[in-house]
Amino acid sequence: MGKTVTEKILEAHLVEGEMVKGKEIGIRIDQTLTQDATGTMAYLEFESIGIPRVQTECSVCYVDHNLLQSDFKNADDHRFLQSIARKYGLYFSPPGNGISHQINLERFGKPGKTLLGSDSHTPTGGGLGMLAIGAGGLDVAMAMAGKPFYLVMPRVYGVKLTGRLSPWVSARDVLLELLRRLSVKGGVGYIMEYFGPGVKELSVTDRASITNFGAELGATTSVFPSDENTLKFLRSQGRESGWLEIVADSDARYDEVVEIDLSALEPLIACPSSPDNVVKVREVAGKPVAQVLVGSCSNSSLRDLVVVAKTLAGKQVSSEVSFEINPGSRQVLENLTAMGEMLPLIHAGARVHQAGCLGCIGMGQAPATGTISLRTFPRNFPGRSGTKNDQVYLCSPEVAVASAITGKITDPRDLGAYPSFSLPETYLPGDSRIEPPLPDGSGVEVIRGPNIAPFPAFAPLPETWKGKVLLKAGDNITTDHIMPAGAQVLPLRSNIPAISDFVFKALDENFSKHARETGSSMIVGGENYGQGSSREHAALAPRYLGVEVKIVKSFARIHKANLINFGILPLTFVNPADYDRIQQGAEVVIPHVRQSLLAGAETLAVEIDGQAVEASLDVSARHREILLAGGLLNWAKGN
């Protein structure tokens, strides 16, 4: 039987286990990336491993999230990251240079390679034919130390593309259509692999927009084949020597298949407050808009900004709209300027910001109270924008610019003819600010500001666990609910005692106070618990506060892995109806839990207020050892 692109890359990197669906495997990681919001902790973890240099082919440290320097914290962390990169042999991309995923695509990505990143949108690299996976910082630290990355062998969801996109419809609409059909948990347990005749109609930046936004399906990652379009992109970047053709065999089989006719798509939009709340733009057209943002790791490429500039030529942004541009990289800015496309943006009234994530992570650009904000971003979780009760819609650059002109949600097809444009055959590199690794960093001193706190120590799992239900949450709890983003919280990412004050603040203003008073505690949750960001702080900070067990209906992949990494027992209800009879504040006992893990038990008896609840523990043998040790770092030091 033939092989998919996914199977070919996994097979070439397999170092432990067998490629049997549902079984744990270990793969070799070629490249890693970190961004500053997760990277500070990842490098503290890497330091604790105690090796002198990263062991990957290529590791890059980016600063793209915490760009506001309202006090010393972010600036201190940036110096810390630069000195870490110099000492341990990483590339360093400084603040203002651009978004990690956009730059990695431009400068470092290679077809057929594996990439592990401490950011959930790392699958962007799949647009280049990489197997690019988001993970917690501790997993990335282990990969930088030369250790395998472990994952459950995923199923492969084939997405067959036919036809070609119509004018005013873009790659963004492909993933919006998938989210409409499959939901934010439709990709859990799968790698999404694109194939079919429609693939050749999509450029690498189109594909990268799809694989980036594909993180919102809950998928392990997404991947396109590496073909002539891939070669064309690498040639434009002066990197054609890194090209490798990787396509699925003609008789490859997929576990599931969904087909999308590109020519049948029309402009789509995700309504508040979930990426899968998708409708046709025409269904919500006419709603007044106060803010429109184009950028983020999903849609900040040169192609996206040229479309916006061409559409704005000779026009003005509505006086009722704050229209803002967040370029993906300095390369994008440099080429946009060289092409003469910056002037239309300026003349139309756009606010052009530095290259970075900015409003996508709640770092500024919060919308006004009670107003609609249209964004080409990948997420619109409640309050993520920085404004309470926000109304954030997710759309393509075409819908965004059309709406900015009219001041209301607008189907861009109403503007008339689609603007014609072409992109450079060879791009200006725009990457002079990237620092290459030093040949020898042994003499470099790591610079640590006062906001960097020591990594907390955690005790091993006890023989019998006792605690309380500290919080009962519902379905689709995101990592933003657990550990908020935003300008107030993000600068504390390297200070676990300080950032823990914000845990679950969106659900319970006094959660951290109650947690400190309670000691050992358990969280109860519904379906798809922990969806969204890869931020390991959503596991690490609760663990610091005494949260040692979570029992839910189902987990999002990355969050479950992070819970295990920090010694939090991830349980699921055998009978989901048991969720309804658990009350917040209940007393919990898990007898002989250590013995049960050692014996390989797949279910545990959990006593909640004296009533028995059967819970499933779906983890590998290696995970059991990690949980017994109290976390991955404890386990690694003992092995």
Q: Which DSSP letter does residue 132 get?
A: E
**65 classed as catalytic:** yes
DSSP 140-207: HHHHHTTPPEEEE--EEEEEEEES-PPTT--HHHHHHHHHHHH-TTTTTTEEEEEESGGGGGS-HHHH
- Residue 89, both tokens: 């042999």
Structure tokens at 269: 């939009």
Q: Catalytic site residue 384?
A: no
What SS3 class is residue 576? helix
Which is the catalytic residue, given 481, 535, 623, 624? 535
Collapse the DSSP code of 494 into the 3-class scheme (helix H, G, I; strand E, B; otherwise coil) and give the result.
Answer: coil
Q: What length does the chain have?
A: 639
The one catalytic residue in 13, 53, 65, 624 is 65
Active site residue 520: no
Instruction: Give me the amino acid identity at 94.
Output: P
Whole-number Å distance between alpha carbons of 57 and 474: 42
- In sign, the C-alpha dihedral spanning 479, 208, 214, 568 is negative
User: Under a CB-based contact definition with an 8 Å cutoff, are residues 10 and 131 in contact?
Assistant: yes
351 noted as active-site residue: no
Give me the catalytic one of 107, 207, 353, 379: 379
Q: Where are the alpha helices (DSSP H) in 519-592?
A: 537-544, 557-565
Residue of 170, 494, 521, 533 marked active site = 533
C-alpha to C-alpha distance for 320 and 181, rounded to whole angstroms: 34
Active site residue 239: no
Report DSSP letters for 497-532, one per residue. Answer: HHHGGGTTTTT-TTHHHHHHHH-SEEEE--TTBTBS
What is the 3-state secondary structure of 288-330? ECCEEEECCCCCCCHHHHHHHHHHHCCCCCCCCCEEEECCCEH
604, two tokens: 């545990």
Of these residues, 76, 119, 390, 480, which one is catalytic?
119
Q: Which of 30, 36, 64, 304 is catalytic?
A: 64
Active site residue 448: no
Tracing tokens 């590199």 back to the chain, one arrives at 429
Provide the annotated active-site residues. Answer: 64-65, 119, 379, 533, 535
